[in-house]
Every structure is written in C-alpha cells, then in structure tokens.
Amino acid sequence: MHGLAADDSDYALSDKDFELIAGIARDQAGIVIRAHKSAMIRGRLMRRLRALQLRSVAEYCDLLRSGDGHKELPSLLNVLTTNHTAFFRERHHLDHLRSDALPETYSRALKHNSRVRIWSSASSTGEEPYSIAAMVHASQPPKALDMRILATDIDTDVLDRAERGEYAREVVERAPADLKPLLLCEPAGQDSVRIGAALKRYLTFKQLNLVIEWPMKGPFDVIFCRNVMIYFDAPTKKSIVDRAADLLRPGGWLYLGHSESLSPPHPAFELIGRTIYRRR
C-alpha cells in the first residue's frame, strides 16, 4: 500500500474516530452505524487512505475534522454506503409491476392525458432501474405516453457506473433466464455487455440524498424504495415514508425491500402484497 506504514495499529479505528464517522453518516445521510460494524467501516476507509496516500485512520479522521473536511464528505459517504444489488432482484415486485401496476397506470394516464413517472430511489449501480425499464419496455407502453424513470442514489461513483449501463457478462448471466433477454444487452467488450438503448432512453440518473429536501415535485405512479430503510433510524424512516406518500398519486404503488415494512402501519398506505403497498 503506497505511502502507508506497516504497523497494523495505524489502521485501527479508535472509539473517538468511530464516533466521528458514525456521526457523519447519521447527520449527512441518516445512516445508523452500530458499534459492532467498526471493523467493516475500518476496511472501507482503507480505500480513502490509499486514494489520499494517508498513513493511518487517525490521520484520515484528522482530515475530516479540519477546515477542509467538508470536501471529503462526498467521498466518505460513497465508501460507507452499501451497494448490493442484482438484476430482477425480488422478482415478485417486478412481476407485479408488469402484470398489475403498469397496465392500470397506462389506462389512467391515457384517460387523463397525463404522464407516467416511476422512481427508483436507491438505484446503486443501475440493476434495479434497468430491471424496471425492462419491464416497462416489455409491457409495450402506448406510444402516446410520456414515460420516464428517475434513478437516484447518494453515491456519485455508482451513479456514474449506472449511467454507462455496462456490466460484466457474468453479472447479467446471473439474472433469471426468462427475464435476461428483456435487458436487450449488446456486446461491449470481451467480458462485458451494454444495456440496450431502447431501455436507457426511459432513464434519468440524478444524485440524491434521501434525508435532505427532495427537489422532485411528482406526482409519481410507482416508487421503489427497497433495501435502504434498514439503514435509517425510526424518525428518518417515517419522514421518508411521509414524503413518499406526498409524492405518490392516489392509487400509486410503493415497493419496499424484502426485510422492510411499514411498522406501525401508515395511514396513507394499504398493504396489498408481500412488501407491496398502495397509496390510499
């Protein structure tokens, strides 16, 4: 490791420095980091030590406390956020989107001459929004419809990768066999593929921190907010659900992650399937 001392003690994350990192994650992104995650956080900080050629975790934390610390915050949040995802993950949501939510949404939009908007709120490296786009394209939306999918994430690095739409061939190969062709992949190199242009045209990628003010006015017909609430405390979760309810059309759909739920039940939403909620 260039520029780093060999002493393992230099890589230690003291209680004081852990409190600093956890406090930044909580205040800047609403992410709750428990003490038992200290070793994982230290491992992730190594990426920033290498990039900045710093000799110790303590030196990195001194940088965060300095007058220039605010400049490092976006990069710190990028390494702290988790980006586990896959194409057509939690398939029952996407099946429901294609069979129920989209046909009903198209009918309403045509009747009222309105647009269709879907939001992937934690899009990571793009597998989720491209899976949504694949279902939209396969559902053959009426050409007259103004159809867009907004894909957001707090991590600017993964958003750049998502917007490129290029993936290792093995990543796409792990998708369900019957759904994989819907990605319309084209060769992009010896071991990589590119998502089809017909899907990319639906998408807009934007950086967004879910715990600060949202610039979107809506209304949205569908919101995917999956596998992100688990990182927030109860007041932050409630704030996000309240704001999602305000952005959804009556009758719109909210999809949460497999281990998430609206607990206690939210008055604006009705549970209609496994982690599938409908705006009352």
Would you give the end-to-end CA distance of the chain in angstroms? 55
Give dist(CA 246, CA 276) in Å, integer.
17
Selection from 82, 84, 95, 86 nearest residue 172 by Cα: 86
Residues in the chain: 280
Largest CA distance in the chain: 68
Q: Which amino acid is at 83?
A: N
Residues making up the annotated binding site are: 83, 85, 89, 128, 153, 209-210, 226-227
Q: How far is CA 54 from CA 40, 42, 178, in A?
A: 19, 14, 48
Could you say which of 98, 117, 153, 155 is catalytic?
A: 153
Could you say which of 26, 44, 108, 194 is catalytic?
A: 44
Task: Give me Rg for the CA atoms of the chain.
Answer: 21
Residues making up the annotated binding site for S-adenosyl-L-methionine are: 83, 85, 89, 128, 153, 209-210, 226-227
Given the structure tokens 């939306």, which residue do they identify?
A: 141
H-helix segments, 114-249: 127-138, 156-164, 169-173, 197-200, 234-247
The verdict on whether 44 is a catalytic residue reads yes
Give dist(CA 76, CA 61) in Å, integer.
11
- Spatial CB neighbours of 230, under 8 Å, sequence gap ≥ 6: 257, 259, 260
Catalytically active residues are 44, 153
